[in-house]
Amino acid sequence: MSNIHYIDSKQLNFEILSTILFTEKQLQLSEEAIENINKCRDYLDKKVKSDSAPIYGINTGFGSLCNVKINSDNLQLLQENLVMSHACGTGSEVSKDIVKLMLILKIQSLSYGYSGVQLKTVERLIDFYNHNIIPVIYTQGSLGASGDLAPLAHLSLPLIGKGEVYYNNERISGEELLKKFNWNKIELKSKEGLALLNGTQFMSAYGVHLILKSFKLSYFADLVGALSLEAFDGRLSPFNELIHFIRPHNGQIKTAKRISNFLDGSELIEQYKEHVQDPYSFRCMPQVHGASKDALDYCKKTFLTEINSVTDNPNIFIEADEIISGGNFHGQPLALAFDFLSIAMAELGSISERRTFQLVSGLRSLPPFLVKNPGLNSGFMIPQYTAASIVSQNKQLATPASIDSIVSSNGQEDHVSMGANAATKAKQIVDNIETILAIELLNASQALHFRLPIKTSPFLESFLKLFRSEVPFIENDIVLSLEIKKTVQFLQNLNIDTEELFEY
């Protein structure tokens, strides 16, 4: 298999992006992409020379300064000034894996030939990716409206020898970077600064990152939920396909089928039950987990459309001989998707914590707090507190960002999506879900010990054996934060077949 991914007009998908990232493929422009970029740039150069009329962002100012005509001698300075002036990011640094995604998505968008950039500008961005040069970008500063202006300005600064990057685990200036590689700075031509800064690649990169992680966590919610069901001596009947075929939501059917498969061959699930029903957090896993799956599926489709789109402004249409200023940079579709994803994932955490609560409550022959000597030992009393605290935080974070808007650019940008804020808080929620599910897994595995010698299914037993090689059964009180951390790392290190994650 080639270690090169060719940038072309073929649609990106999450499987391709996952492969590029995790197999460390190098990027290279296809002949088609090179032709598209060169044709568009040539067209724009000729247009600027032959037409003295103001064209937004090419020979005018930006935002509310759109009516200020710029002398042709200053067009390069105009673009550099744009990049520098818009680099106003604050807050914590964006994680390196998300910045790498931003680079891929910006290169992809520019390669379609509607943006008017120079070939060497795109090739330098590819050089950044291939040499693992990671621009320093900050989480705060984008309104998710006229593109992700501040984050993309920081992404672009090293092209002109400004800003900072990580290279070989060292933080260096853009100027030092050029010297290390003996590169000249990119002399930005008309429209290029705007092409680099207008775009939704900050939001889109977060979207790709969170979709990949959320689908994996959705799988783990089913898996850990099945373990909890077994530990709680739950019933199999709520997962019978007959129930779900008369309410045929895709996610609901998928969840019931997956959990039934996990439980296949279990002694515990087949044993006689004195109780006729389980609490909702067990019985309604297909309905609750399934609704979140359907929400994730909607979000996946939204982000898939976005990563295969051109989102800068203005756009250049050679065949139609048109340069059109519009609003493809507006992040409203993404803002709504992030808010939906946040709510959907928060619910997976909410129901998980309820299962944890049931397991430590001393019900169905389980010892209180899942420890042999309660009283002397507090056992698993406080991990449930921790899960409850995180669930409550998620409720606060799940308040939609997309319902907010603040006027900017002197009234020119009078409605914004706040999609970047939706993205960063969605990431907090998704990261929190990982911890909540880790706490449930810690509790469920502990509770299952008290069901021995009766065993769960061969599949779940093999999973437990793998888990126990990392996190042992706990006899007496120890520092549980370390066990939670080990459990989180265990989940992070587990690889699940991508087809299984995205199957519908």
Residues taking part in catalysis:
56
Burial class (CB in 10 A: 0-12, 13-18, 19+), 177: buried
What is the enclosing helix (H) or strand (E) of 27? strand 26-29
State the amino acid at position 368 in one-letter form: P
CA atoms within 13 A on the CB side of 479: 4
d(CA 449, CA 456): 11
Nearest to 277 by CA among 236, 246, 318: 236
- What percent of the residues of the chain are helix, what percent strand, and what percent coil, each to the nearest 5? 60, 10, 35
| Angle of the 119-130 helix axis to the 96-110 helix axis, nearest 10 | 150
Are 376 and 338 in contact by the 8 Å Cβ rule? The answer is no
State the amino acid at position 264 in one-letter form: D
The count of other CB atoms within 10 Å of the CB of residue 412 is 13
First-residue to last-residue Cα distance in the chain: 28
Q: How do 322-324 and 315-317 pair as beta strands?
A: antiparallel
Q: In whole angstroms, how large is the CA radius of gyration of the chain? A: 26
d(CA 202, CA 10): 22
**If you count DSSP H runs as helices and E runs as strands, how many of each does the chain have, helices first?**
20, 9
Question: Cβ contacts of residue 468 below 8 Å, gap of 6+?
Answer: 445
